[in-house]
Amino acid sequence: MKDFAGKVAFITGGASGAGFGQAKVFSEAGCKIVIADIRQDHLDEAMAYFKDKKAEVHAIKLDITDRQAYAKAADEVEKVFGSPPQLLFNTAGVNAFGPAEASTFEDYDWVMGVCLGGVVNGMVTFVPRMIKAGKGGHIATTASMGGLMGTSGCAPYSAAKAAVINLMESYYQALRPYGIGVSCLCPGGIRTNIGESSYTRPKHLAKTGYNTNEKTIAFMHKHYSYGIDPVELAHIFKKGIENDVLYVVPMPEPEKMMRGIVERMVNFTTPEGMKRQEEANKKRMEEMIKHPNPMMEGAAEAGWGRAREDLTWVKNKGPQT
Ligand SMILES: NC(=O)c1ccc[n+]([C@@H]2O[C@H](COP(=O)([O-])OP(=O)(O)OC[C@H]3O[C@@H](n4cnc5c(N)ncnc54)[C@H](O)[C@@H]3O)[C@@H](O)[C@H]2O)c1
C-alpha cells in the first residue's frame, strides 16, 4: 500500500506507545484513524493530543480479548467512517516477566490471550469484512524480536509473539489474491508504557508466578525509556508497508540480525552446533559482565524477572533473558 489518503486505519492499543505512534504517523499520512484501547485514561490522553489536529480520529474502548465487543467495534467503524478499515493495525499487547518454570496457567491465559488471542480476534473479525468491501488493504501487526527466540524470562510472551509471526506469514499468503498485504513488525525495545501492563490484567487471571509490584513497574519504565521512539518506529513500519515487506525488522542491519536468528536455530539441531551455541552464549554473557547494559541497571534491586517470593522451589536468582 502506497497511498494512505482517506483510508480507514483501525489501531488496537492505539492510545499508547507503539500504537499511538502509528496513530500520529498514519493520521499525518491522511488516514482516518480509529484508536481502540482497553484503557480509558490512555484514550482520553490520545484524544486530547488530536483535539487541535486536522485528523479525523475516533476512539473506541475495547478489550481485544472480548469477541462480541470486537464485532461491535467493527460495526461502529462502519457506521462512523462508512466502511471497514483498509488498514488494520494489531498493536495492543501486554508483557510479564518471571522464570518460565514459575509460570501459572493464568500467566499464559492473560499474556497469550491478549498478544495472540487478540490478534486472532482482529483477523477473524476484520478479514472477511475487508474482503467483502473489495477495496484491498493492509494488515500491519506488531510482534516482537522476542518472538524470534525462546526467552526463559518471559515464556508466555515469546510463545505468543512467535505464533503471531507465523500467523502473519499464513495470512500473507492467503490474502494476496484479495489485494490485502500483510506486514509484521519485529522490534526490540520501544519507549512505551508496556511496563504498566499489569494494570489491565483481569482479576480472574490475577494468579501469577512472577514478582510484579510497583518496584518492578518503576524499573520497567526506566528500562523501556532506552527504546526506540514510537513515532520513529511507525515511520519505519510505514516504509515496510509501502514496500510490501512481510517482516519489518527495525534494526540498522535487519538481514544480518535475521541470519543470526536462523544460525542460532541451525546450531540447535546438532550436538556440535549445541556446543557452538553454548560457546557463543558464554562469550555474550562475558561481554555483558564486562560492559553492563544500562537498560538492566536496577533490575536485581527491583526484583524484576524473579518468581513470586513464596515459590521457594524456584532458583530465584534474578533476571534471565
Ligand atoms: N515496548 C517494547 O519494548 C516492545 C518491544 C517489542 C514489541 N512490543 C509490542 O508493541 C505493542 C505495543 O505495546 P507498547 O510497547 O506500545 O505498550 P503500551 O502499553 O504503551 O501500549 C499498549 C496499549 O495496548 C493497550 N491494551 C492492553 N491490553 C489490551 C486489550 N486487552 N485490549 C485493548 N487494548 C489493550 C494498553 O492499554 C496500551 O494502551 C505490543 O504488542 C508489544 O508487545 C513492545
Q: Which tens digit of pLDDT belongs to each residue from 56-77? A: 999 999 999 999 999 999 999 9
Query: Is residue 29 one of the residues assigned to a domain?
Result: yes
65 ligand 1 Cβ < 6 A: yes
Q: Which tens digit of pLDDT belongs to each residue from 158-182? A: 999 999 999 999 999 999 999 999 9
Write the CATH number for 234.
3.40.50.720
The residue segments making up the domain with residue 176 are 8-254
Rounded Cα gap, residues 83 and 76, in angstroms: 10
Distance 269 CA to ligand 1 centre (A): 34
Query: Is residue 240 one of the residues assigned to a domain?
Result: yes
Number of structural domains the chain divides into: 1
What are phi and psi for residue 190, nearest 5 degrees? -125, 145
Query: Is residue 248 one of the residues assigned to a domain?
Result: yes
Three-class SS of residue 45?
helix
226 is catalytic: no
Most informative mutation of 22, 25, 125, 190 for ligand 1 (most atoms within 8 A of CB): 190
* Catalytic residue of the set 157, 172, 210, 224: 157
- DSSP E strands, 72-226: 87-90, 137-142, 180-185
Res 35 pLDDT > 70: yes
17 ligand 1 Cβ < 6 A: yes
Over pLDDT 90: what percentage of the chain? 96
122 ligand 1 Cβ < 6 A: no
223 ligand 1 Cβ < 6 A: no
For range 169-196, the mean pLDDT = 98
Per-residue model confidence (pLDDT) at position 194: 98
End-to-end CA distance of the chain: 36
Distance 20 CA to ligand 1 centre (A): 10
15 ligand 1 Cβ < 6 A: yes
In order, the DSSP letters of 149-194 are: S--TT-HHHHHHHHHHHHHHHHHHHHHGGGTEEEEEE--S-BSSSG
For range 76-103, the mean pLDDT = 98
Most informative mutation of 11, 24, 25, 37 for ligand 1 (most atoms within 8 A of CB): 37
Q: Which tens digit of pLDDT belongs to each residue from 97-116? A: 999 999 999 999 999 999 99
Distance 32 CA to ligand 1 centre (A): 21
Would you mind telling me the total number of residues written for the chain in this entry? Answer: 321
Query: Is residue 123 one of the residues assigned to a domain?
Result: yes
Res 206 pLDDT > 50: yes
Under the banding of pLDDT at 50, 70 and 90, the label for residue 319 is: low
Q: Which tens digit of pLDDT belongs to each residue from 118-171? A: 999 999 999 999 999 999 999 999 999 999 999 999 999 999 999 999 999 999
Per-residue model confidence (pLDDT) at position 318: 60
Query: Is residue 301 one of the residues assigned to a domain?
Result: no
Query: Which of these, 139, 147, 23, lies nearest to 85 by C-alpha position?
Result: 139
39 ligand 1 Cβ < 6 A: yes
Query: Is residue 227 one of the residues assigned to a domain?
Result: yes
151 ligand 1 Cβ < 6 A: no
Average pLDDT across the chain, whole number: 96
Over pLDDT 70: what percentage of the chain? 98
Res 320 pLDDT > 90: no
Per-residue model confidence (pLDDT) at position 321: 45
Query: Is residue 268 one of the residues assigned to a domain?
Result: no
For residues 31 and 4, the answer to whether their CB atoms sit within 8 Å is yes
Query: Is residue 173 one of the residues assigned to a domain?
Result: yes
**pTM of the predicted model over 0.95:** yes
